[in-house]
Amino acid sequence: MTEDQATARPRTPRDPSATIRRILEAAREEFGANGFDGTKVEHIARRAGVSKQIVYFYFKGKDELYWELLKDISINTNQRLLQIPFDDLPPDEALRHYVAGVYDLYAEDPLLGMVSLDQSMHGGAQLRSINEIRMLQKALADKLASVVTRGQAAGIFHPEVDSNRIELMTVIITVGCLSSSTMLQRYSERSWQQSPAETRAFALDFIMRGLCK
């Protein structure tokens, strides 16, 4: 084997798009199970059924793969929340729909909670900003700010309520309910004996009580 042959790039698969999808799905499963620090590119490659060289052919490394996961999550969650008819609902109903929407997204896909906790530990080190995400985030933030303004004008929400804090606290309470309940029950040795539906209802009511007069 010549030196050129030894250092040649790996032969790319016949269906690159299918290979990329397999790599990204494998990355999703690995990051979901092990977090950023515990995931290795070789494990992603093995799960995707390709060589590590093929992964590096399409992606710069673990950091870029993690960002692709975060980008997909951010776009999908913002697009789904923007489907809420904020302008057509009374302020309190619009906000409750938003809180329920966030909770249901995290309940349907446990990876969202894992990623939120993981990035909290890393200070958002793998997060990036692209125009598509910025536009979606701004559109959702504007909708929430409008709802809060309407609710305050109608005397429904406390005057100090801030839409940015609503986003933050909704995620924190949601992740806590979905990701930490079992741990807290074992730690306290007390069973709350709540069904998923009861926990969801309690979380929504808890947040709304803090916002409404």
68 shares its domain with 32: no
67 shares its domain with 41: no
* Domain contains 7: no
35 shares its domain with 89: no
Model confidence at 5: pLDDT above 80: no
97 shares its domain with 186: yes
Determine the structural domain holding residue 185 and report its residue range.
Answer: 61-211
| Residue 163 binned pLDDT confidence (cut-offs 50, 70, 90) | very high
* Domain contains 52: yes
* Domain contains 4: no
Tens-place pLDDT, residues 80-138: 999 999 999 999 999 999 999 999 999 999 899 989 988 888 888 888 889 999 999 99
pTM of the model: 0.86
Tally the domains of the chain.
2
Tokens of 25: 């799905």
92 shares its domain with 176: yes
pLDDT of residue 4: 43
* Domain contains 5: no
